[in-house]
């Protein structure tokens, strides 16, 4: 066993000195390889972290939302529905929500205006999300102007700015009082934008949803799980689009590495001839070339993944943020919570390290099975 | 003892460019002797050394090395015999540039699984023997011709082989270095090693340490001097 380990150490030692002898070429290869792994790993880490983040935030969302639709479009829902919903067995609570979208022509962005059920701002004041604060360069005490339903300008003072911890969903949020909401969007007496329903047993969600749909045929029910699936699909789709774009880079790298690996230089062939002539077996040469491929590809893999980790979790995936986050104007700025999907990193390993190691070994095997007497005949 | 029994080597057999490098040859290289194979360029000297040194297989015939028939051995065993039994000194030196003299010398012993520190100790002894101690850490491309030649001899001896094979070893050396080389070969023979040299250099085959000379021409042994 000790002899086996020493043999590996000796061959690895020779491999490292071989790599250092062709420093320029190998460093260039390592740089390209690392860049490729970095790009792929960044997309993977960012996508899975955003999905994770979204699911964490949505865990706090209501289990069920009831909306009214008229001619296929959402319409304010009468608060009178609440009583009948509360009568359904299994429903713990049911409340109306007031919210809407407001287009701000000053910055060309859409805000989500929401009246909180409790602890909302006082009339005349708003609490804004970090994205709105950045877009309007507003801080606490500043005044924001909104165009009301009557055409009059409504001035609201910024009372507070939401924490950046929840920026993924709160970036474009403006919290305001019901009175101010009515002034901006028009009176909503006896109406709500939608209703949120909480149930005692999550297993009964589907049953209760069916009952609500039966009692109120003009409503549509949105379950939290459906929202989670939608988020999941959206971010997976965005990640997929990026992966497809990067596929071209992968293909280019495969061609370059295959070309490099399949065409051993005259110097490398001569070296293999010398090694064979002085007593190295074919398996020793292949072992050496395996280590060579492994050192380059593993280094590229680990450096690339490490850089991607730093890029995604310390610099918020700046390279891909516009594509992955998807907001048009108010891009949420947030630091993703480190989350690594081991299966994705394993897939990346098999897509990058393994093909390169194989591509390196095959031509070396072909060169090393030739008779070593070629070196006696003066290969240079 | 090494014996060739009707050994024959044909390159590109069955192709238009078929070439018989060595006709049926029977030969006995006695152990613990310094033997020279003498002949002009292209006479088949290198092919004969390749066959004896397990670097190539004969097209037909048999070869015995130290009592073992090697012709039909699998490549793995052939390599093992080559590594343990033979030390090679090549005409072109065949040192690997970019490596130090020390690294080149211990190269044949890497796959044996011996500890690097032990290999370096053994190499240090050889460097002392060949007055190369100060050059051990020098890259081989910085060495003079004579120094490079001595490094190749040290490399040939690192696995303590019973047989040393040298192919045109003085082709790139001046007369003084050629004589020094032959003196070294004589010392190796006195240590109890079998030395086999292929050369057409009179400084080699006329050296007093040489005990037997075979003449080869057009792939045939046509004479046996001394």
pLDDT of residue A355: 77
Asked if the C-beta of A16 comes within 8 angstroms of chain B's C-beta atoms, the answer is no
Residue, of A266 and B162, whose pLDDT is higher: B162
Query: Please, how many CA atoms are within 13 Å of residue B131, restricted to the half-sphere of its CB?
Result: 5
User: By mean pLDDT, which of A86-90, A162-166, B176-180 is the weakest?
Assistant: A162-166
At A380, the pLDDT band (50, 70, 90 cuts) reads very low
pLDDT of residue B226: 58
Q: pLDDT at residue A163 above 80?
A: no
Q: Do A279 and B55 touch (CB under 8 A)?
A: no
User: By mean pLDDT, which of A50-54, A135-139, B30-34 is the weakest?
Assistant: A50-54
Q: Evaluate whether A219 touches A76 at the Cβ level (below 8 Å).
A: no
Which CATH architecture group holds B2-225? 3-Layer(aba) Sandwich (3.40)
Q: Do A271 and B94 touch (CB under 8 A)?
A: no
The residues, any chain, with a CB within 8 Å of residue B103's CB and separated by 6 or more, are A14, A17, B96
Residue of B50, B89, B98, B110 to mutate for A, most A C-beta atoms under 10 A: B110
SS3 (DSSP) at B35: strand
pLDDT of residue A256: 66
Q: Do B111 and A284 touch (CB under 8 A)?
A: yes
Q: Which residues pair with A98 in a beta bridge?
A: A115
To the question of domain A97-192 being in CATH 3.40.190.10, the answer is no
At A326, the pLDDT band (50, 70, 90 cuts) reads low
Of B83, B90, B116, the CB nearest to A10: B116
pLDDT of residue A262: 58
Both tokens assigned to A126: 């708003």
Q: pLDDT at residue A166 above 80?
A: no
Of B83, B94, B116, the CB nearest to A375: B94
Mean pLDDT of A301-325: 84
Cα dihedral sign for A208, A209, A210, A215?
A: positive
Q: pLDDT at residue A329 above 60?
A: no
Both tokens assigned to A186: 């028009």
Mean pLDDT of chain B: 90
Q: pLDDT at residue A189 above 60?
A: yes
pTM assigned to the model: 0.67
Distance from CA of A362 to the nearest CA of B (A): 19
A194 by Cβ neighbours in 10 Å (0-12 / 13-18 / 19+) ranks as: buried
Which residues on chain B are in Cβ contact (under 8 Å) with A275?
Answer: 107
Distance between alpha carbon A193 and the CA centroid of its chain, in Å?
Answer: 31
pLDDT of residue A261: 59
Q: Angle formed by the axes of helices A342-368 and A282-313, to 10°?
A: 150
Asked if the C-beta of A283 comes within 8 angstroms of chain B's C-beta atoms, the answer is yes
The residues, any chain, with a CB within 8 Å of residue B179's CB and separated by 6 or more, are B203, B207
Mean pLDDT of chain A: 82
Residue, of A26 and B9, whose pLDDT is higher: B9
Q: pLDDT at residue A56 above 60?
A: yes
Asked if the C-beta of A275 comes within 8 angstroms of chain B's C-beta atoms, the answer is yes
Q: Do A17 and B79 touch (CB under 8 A)?
A: no
Q: pLDDT at residue A331 above 60?
A: no
Asked if the C-beta of A281 comes within 8 angstroms of chain B's C-beta atoms, the answer is yes
Over the Cα atoms of chain B, what is R_g? 17
pLDDT of residue A379: 45
SS3 (DSSP) at A104: strand
Distance between alpha carbon B29 and the CA centroid of its chain, in Å?
Answer: 13
The residues, any chain, with a CB within 8 Å of residue B79's CB and separated by 6 or more, are A276, A279, A280, A281, A282, B54
Mean pLDDT of A177-190: 88
Q: Do A7 and B50 touch (CB under 8 A)?
A: no
Q: Do A376 and B75 touch (CB under 8 A)?
A: no
Domain ranges in chain A?
2-58+230-376, 97-192
Beta strands in A249-368 (DSSP E): none
Q: How far is CA A329 from CA A51, A105, A163, A372, B124, in A?
A: 21, 12, 19, 67, 71
Q: Do B110 and A10 touch (CB under 8 A)?
A: yes
Among A30, A3, A52, CA closest to A232:
A52
Which residues on chain B are in Cβ contact (under 8 Å) with A14?
Answer: 103, 107, 110
Phi, psi of A310 (to 5 degrees): -65, -45
Q: pLDDT at residue B130 above 80?
A: yes
Distance between alpha carbon B16 and the CA centroid of its chain, in Å?
Answer: 32
SS3 (DSSP) at A186: coil
Of A11, A283, A377, the CB nearest to B46: A377
User: By mean pLDDT, which of A27-36, A167-176, A254-263, B87-96 is the weakest?
Assistant: A254-263
Mean pLDDT of A202-219: 89
Highest averaged pLDDT of the listed ranges A16-25, A259-268, A319-328: A16-25
Q: pLDDT at residue A200 above 80?
A: yes
pLDDT of residue A328: 45
pLDDT of residue B49: 92
Asked if the C-beta of A377 comes within 8 angstroms of chain B's C-beta atoms, the answer is yes
Of A5, A20, A281, the CB nearest to B111: A281
Which residues on chain A are in Cβ contact (under 8 Å) with B140?
Answer: none
pLDDT of residue B10: 92
Q: Do A281 and B115 touch (CB under 8 A)?
A: no
């Amino acid at each position: 066993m000790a002899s086996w380990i020493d043999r590996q150490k000796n061959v690895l030692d020779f491999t490292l000195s071989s790599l250092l002898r062709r420093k320029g070429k190998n460093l260039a290869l390592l740089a390209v390889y690392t860049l490729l792994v970095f790009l792929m790993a960044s997309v993977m880490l960012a996508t899975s972290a955003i999905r994770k983040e979204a699911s964490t935030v949505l865990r706090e969302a209501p289990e069920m939302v009831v909306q009214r639709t008229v001619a296929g479009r959402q319409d304010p829902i009468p608060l009178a529905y609440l009583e009948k919903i509360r009568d359904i067995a299994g429903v713990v609570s049911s409340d109306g929500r007031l919210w809407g979208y407001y287009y701000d022509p000053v910055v060309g962005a859409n805000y989500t205006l929401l009246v909180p059920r409790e602890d909302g701002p006082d009339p005349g004041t708003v609490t804004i999300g970090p994205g709105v604060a950045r877009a309007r360069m507003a801080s606490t005490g500043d005044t924001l102007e909104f165009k009301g339903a009557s055409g009059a300008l409504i001035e609201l003072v910024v009372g507070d700015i939401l924490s950046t911890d929840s920026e993924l969903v709160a970036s474009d949020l403006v919290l305001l009082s019901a009175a101010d909401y009515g002034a901006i969007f028009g009176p909503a007496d006896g109406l709500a934008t939608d209703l949120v329903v909480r149930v005692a047993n999550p297993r009964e969600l589907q049953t209760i949803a069916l009952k609500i749909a039966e009692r109120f045929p003009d409503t549509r029910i949105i379950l939290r799980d459906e929202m989670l699936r939608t988020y999941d699909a959206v971010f997976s789709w965005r990640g997929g689009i990026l992966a497809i774009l990067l596929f071209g880079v992968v293909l280019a790298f495969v061609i370059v590495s295959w070309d490099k690996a399949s065409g051993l230089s005259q110097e490398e062939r001569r070296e293999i001839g010398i090694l064979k002539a002085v007593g190295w077996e074919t398996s020793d040469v292949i072992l050496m070339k395996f280590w060579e491929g492994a050192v380059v590809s593993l280094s590229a893999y680990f450096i690339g993944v490490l850089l991607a980790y730093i890029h995604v979790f310390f610099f918020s995936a700046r390279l891909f943020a516009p594509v992955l986050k998807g907001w048009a104007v108010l891009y949420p700025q947030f630091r993703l919570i480190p989350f690594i999907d081991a299966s994705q990193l394993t897939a990346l390993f098999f897509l990058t390290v393994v093909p390169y190691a194989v591509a390196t070994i095959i031509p070396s095997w072909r060169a090393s099975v030739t008779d070593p007497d070629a070196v006696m005949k003066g290969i240079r | 003892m090494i014996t060739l029994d009707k050994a024959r080597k044909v390159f590109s057999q069955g192709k238009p460019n078929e070439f018989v490098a060595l006709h049926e040859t029977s030969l006995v290289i006695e152990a613990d002797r310094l033997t020279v194979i003498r002949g002009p360029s292209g006479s088949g000297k290198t092919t004969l050394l390749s066959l004896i040194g397990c670097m190539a297989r004969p097209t037909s015939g048999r070869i015995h090395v130290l009592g073992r028939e090697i012709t039909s051995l699998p490549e793995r065993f052939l390599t093992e015999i080559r590594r343990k039994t033979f030390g090679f000194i090549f005409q072109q030196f065949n040192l690997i540039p970019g490596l130090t003299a020390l690294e080149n010398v211990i190269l044949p012993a890497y796959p044996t699984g011996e500890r690097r520190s032990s290999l370096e100790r053994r190499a240090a002894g050889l460097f002392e023997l060949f007055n190369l101690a100060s050059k051990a850490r020098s890259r081989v491309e910085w060495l003079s011709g004579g120094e490079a030649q001595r490094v190749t001899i040290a490399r040939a001896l690192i696995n303590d082989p019973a047989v040393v094979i040298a192919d045109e070893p003085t082709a790139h050396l001046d007369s003084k270095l050629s004589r020094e080389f032959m003196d070294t070969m004589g010392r190796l023979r006195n240590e109890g090693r079998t030395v086999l040299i292929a050369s057409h250099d009179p400084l080699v085959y006329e050296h007093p340490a040489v005990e037997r000379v075979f003449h080869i021409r057009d792939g045939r042994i046509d004479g046996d001097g001394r």
